[in-house]
């Protein structure tokens, strides 16, 4: 996995944890009150953000796994050959 994919993956995971914490904290404050609409909006944004960041992290894992499987399936495509020595 390349550096960029690692950074994006862990960034998405960190953002997902942040959104999960926001949703968890907001869930205790839902209900009637002076800030009910604001709490509902925070909860909606938190849940949407959690879903989006989870999908991003999952997509990275899927694509990297597929690329690694394809690389193992075709070792002769490597410019140095299957043994790692120049052909």
Any idea of the CA torsion for 9, 14, 16, 22, to the nearest 10 degrees? -170
Answer yes or no: are the C-beta atoms of 49 and 15 closer than 8 Å: yes
- The number of C-alpha atoms within 13 Å of 74 and in the hemisphere containing its C-beta is 7
Confidence of residue 87 (pLDDT cuts 50, 70, 90): very low
pLDDT tens digits, residue range 14-70? 999 999 999 998 888 888 888 888 889 999 999 999 999 999 999 998 988 888 888
DSSP helix/strand/coil, 35: coil
Tokens of 56: 């991003």
* pTM passes above 0.85: no
């Amino acid at each position: 996995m390349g550096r960029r994919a690692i950074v994006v993956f862990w960034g998405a995971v960190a953002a997902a944890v942040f959104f999960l914490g926001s949703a968890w904290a907001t869930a205790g404050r839902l209900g009637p009150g002076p800030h009910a609409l604001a709490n509902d909006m925070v909860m909606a944004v938190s849940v949407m953000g959690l879903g989006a960041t989870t999908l991003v992290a999952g997509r990275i894992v899927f694509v990297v796994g597929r690329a690694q499987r394809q690389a193992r399936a075709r070792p002769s495509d490597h410019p140095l050959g299957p043994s790692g020595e120049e052909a």
